[in-house]
Structure 1
């Protein structure tokens, strides 16, 4: 019995602007700051490798001095919509019904809601009353792959079942208007909002990409590197400038033992399906693999078209590969990084 990823579908929020259209808002936000600092910030936005981003709020709303409560209310309202839209789109792709789902995983770290969004989806779509729910709230950018790992373990233990992993994020709802730190500025320059749903199955008759293996890798003494601090104005980003260096230092231990366990090497991997954390992380990963004749072009393209959407982003990259109908037997490596600090890996066979 094998577990397969049957379908992946993305869902974009309603508002979108090119980076060039956002610069006037950034410039107005920086009014009163030193001219040199202002020029530096605008260059960060221009050089972030993100041409366009999508959001649950229009640009002027992002730069309004709304309270944490008001922003979180928008998050709750829009995440419910995006959750339903992405799940329905994925179900249509797989030709499944909402009642076919036995295990419902939702991942998000950019807002707070209790009950979690999965409870609303069960009501909206009249899903099974005994569907198993797992909301994952604190794994950040890694959570998209984490959700697939959790689904794989559930399905491996329960043949003939189906699971949905829904990633929903709005980093723009965490933007801090009174914070002119580099962390707040860099995160605003690289992040965007988005949603995606992956469907997995342990049904013998369902087709898709086979999950061969999965694993998590945890960095010691690195809890300070990435995350959020809950302050009066919302979720304040924590992002250490040494993240790319730490990833590079740990990369051999992240990749090679995992592949060796599966009797393969990086040379055998046909497709690198990586989370685009940001331009520097993308460059770091590219430097590590360029000499091996591998590329992460799809990772870079997703960053350019949508920005980093936290847990959602790697699913946008995965969808691009799945929609290509790749040769049977091709191997793919799914990888994302997140708070903890941790790396999540999944080995796939197309």
Structure 2
């Protein structure tokens, strides 16, 4: 069965603290009629700091959508390869062992996708499948895991690389003055994350079931307005209440698998904000401590969009993982309102871990692969 291995996560070097954010809001929006409300909402996020790709002085300037998108591409090419290498190391694989790359991002646009550039520059085989996902927002981290699970179910010998690249600071719009926009300015951060889903072997979360759920008539709750100045993020005040309709979806999927969503051993939940985690704790009847991995991401990095669930999984690994066979859930939430959910068990045995080169050369035709190059050639290409 497919195993989600330890993710690698990287955040940019520029840091903005909660104190910096509040001071900037007071300075930039001193005459805003709802400033007090915005400040209170930002404080309530519990975000201690965030990381951004540019110094704050440059972030606050808007040179135009074209220049911002060029910066997105340059930063992605500069930062993504390192997390890929580390994720491959965590999975004990090489670039040539990967059969599909799932790339998720909602903060910039490239065509061809970054996946094509990666295949050309990092030693991936030319027949590696590409699955770029751009319009699921924060839910895309969960969707990436699920699509990797689906692919490995269809091709049990396959390996899938997941990448989440989010530079939310490049979507800052100085003319957006609604309370939701001001809150977003104090909530979102930048990060790059990658992880491998192994079809065979590996240490981590063995994926057993996945599902999706869309809350009807909520398509305008989280959205982009695409204008000449780029992506304008729209956040409805009802978004924090989404756990009331989504908690039953989590319960239903778990029940269909014979599990109780309120009685699991670990929870990896998209940390859109503290209210999401607080409400889910209430509706699933689990202690707040159950969401410590997600809350750690929110506190230290802010809402890093699709990268949240991968960072929360990393924190599970860093804590030492879980007992063998421990059951858990991973869920990402985003525009739609959409939930992407999966269930899995922890394994530390790593059965079949390793490059298993000879076996994969023989079985490679199951995924339409040609014979891979010798190991020495593959390493040199990295």
Q: How many residues align?
A: 345
Mean Cα displacement is larger for which, 228-237 or 263-272?
Answer: 263-272
**2:206 matched to which residue of 1?**
210
**1:98 matched to which residue of 2?**
95
Q: Secondary structure at the match of 1:335?
A: strand
* Aligned counterparts of 2:341 and 2:45: Cα–Cα separation in 1: 26
Aligned with 2:217 (options 209, 221, 243)? 221
**2:72 matched to which residue of 1?**
75
* Aligned counterparts of 2:88 and 2:81: Cα–Cα separation in 1: 11
Q: Secondary structure at the match of 1:296?
A: helix
* Aligned counterparts of 2:104 and 2:222: Cα–Cα separation in 1: 17
**2:141 matched to which residue of 1?**
144
Q: Secondary structure at the match of 2:50?
A: strand
**1:332 matched to which residue of 2?**
328
Shift of 1:148: 0.7
* Aligned counterparts of 2:288 and 2:307: Cα–Cα separation in 1: 27
1:126 aligns with 2:120: no
**2:190 matched to which residue of 1?**
193
* Aligned counterparts of 1:107 and 1:152: Cα–Cα separation in 2: 15
Shift of 1:292: 6.2
**1:161 matched to which residue of 2?**
158
TM-score, reference length from structure 2 = 0.86
Q: How does 1:1-350 map to 2 (within 5 A)?
A: 2-30=1-29, 33-34=31-32, 37-203=34-200, 205-252=201-248, 254-290=249-285, 295-323=290-318, 324-350=320-346
1:137-170 Cα deviation digits (max 9, x unpaired): 1000000010011111111111211110100111
* Contact 1:25 1:63 (8 Å CA) reproduced: no
Shift of 1:332: 0.9
* Contact 2:218 2:337 (8 Å CA) reproduced: yes
Q: Secondary structure at the match of 1:272?
A: strand
Change (3 A) 1:137 1:201: same
1:209-248 Cα deviation digits (max 9, x unpaired): 2101100011111111112110121101111111222321
* Aligned counterparts of 1:18 and 1:158: Cα–Cα separation in 2: 45
* Aligned counterparts of 1:341 and 1:99: Cα–Cα separation in 2: 37
Shift of 1:295: 2.4
**2:373 matched to which residue of 1?**
none
Q: Secondary structure at the match of 1:229?
A: strand
Structure 2: gaps (5+ residues): 347-382
Change (3 A) 1:90 1:134: same
* Aligned counterparts of 1:65 and 1:109: Cα–Cα separation in 2: 18
* Aligned counterparts of 1:24 and 1:255: Cα–Cα separation in 2: 39
Change (3 A) 1:181 1:161: same
* Aligned counterparts of 2:45 and 2:323: Cα–Cα separation in 1: 34
1:163-221 Cα deviation digits (max 9, x unpaired): 10100111111111111111211111111011111101112x43432101100011111
What's the C-alpha RMSD, in Å, of the aligned pairs?
A: 1.8
* Aligned counterparts of 1:251 and 1:134: Cα–Cα separation in 2: 29
Q: Secondary structure at the match of 2:5?
A: strand
Change (3 A) 1:294 1:304: closer
* Aligned counterparts of 2:180 and 2:110: Cα–Cα separation in 1: 25
* Aligned counterparts of 2:91 and 2:251: Cα–Cα separation in 1: 33
* Contact 2:11 2:192 (8 Å CA) reproduced: yes
Structure 1: gaps (5+ residues): none
TM-score, reference length from structure 1 = 0.93
* Aligned counterparts of 1:328 and 1:153: Cα–Cα separation in 2: 23
Shift of 1:5: 1.0
